[in-house]
Structure 1
């Protein structure tokens, strides 16, 4: 855990390069979703569910890895 500590969420669609529309979430990535013939999709807790349904190449059943701890809300 913590390999992608500075990675930002790429959800829910997981576009790369010039097709990165819809990936403007600035939250840190907490999960990695495996995809067929694509880089794994790094997502925050909010975009985990939508990415499983909307992102291209997501394996089914999904393969999800925890890569970081979710940040604690301010007290």
Structure 2
């Protein structure tokens, strides 16, 4: 406080330090950020995945369901 008012420079510095700490700890994320993101954002929604599913497993040679034989 300076003359009964918050010190703007000190407040901004404290805010930026807190933001940095929360970003690093995962308490805060930046939407569409490249470094931090939600785990779920890395997967296709079901309606986009379904048309790609069979061609993907056919091409990869992996079974479409665990325990099944590969798609041929």
| TM-score between the two structures when normalised by the length of structure 2 | 0.26
Please identify which structure carries the higher strand content. 1
Greater RCO, 1 or 2 (C-alpha within 8 Å, sep 6+): 1
| TM-score between the two structures when normalised by the length of structure 1 | 0.25
Please identify which structure carries the higher helix content. 2
Greater gyration radius: 2
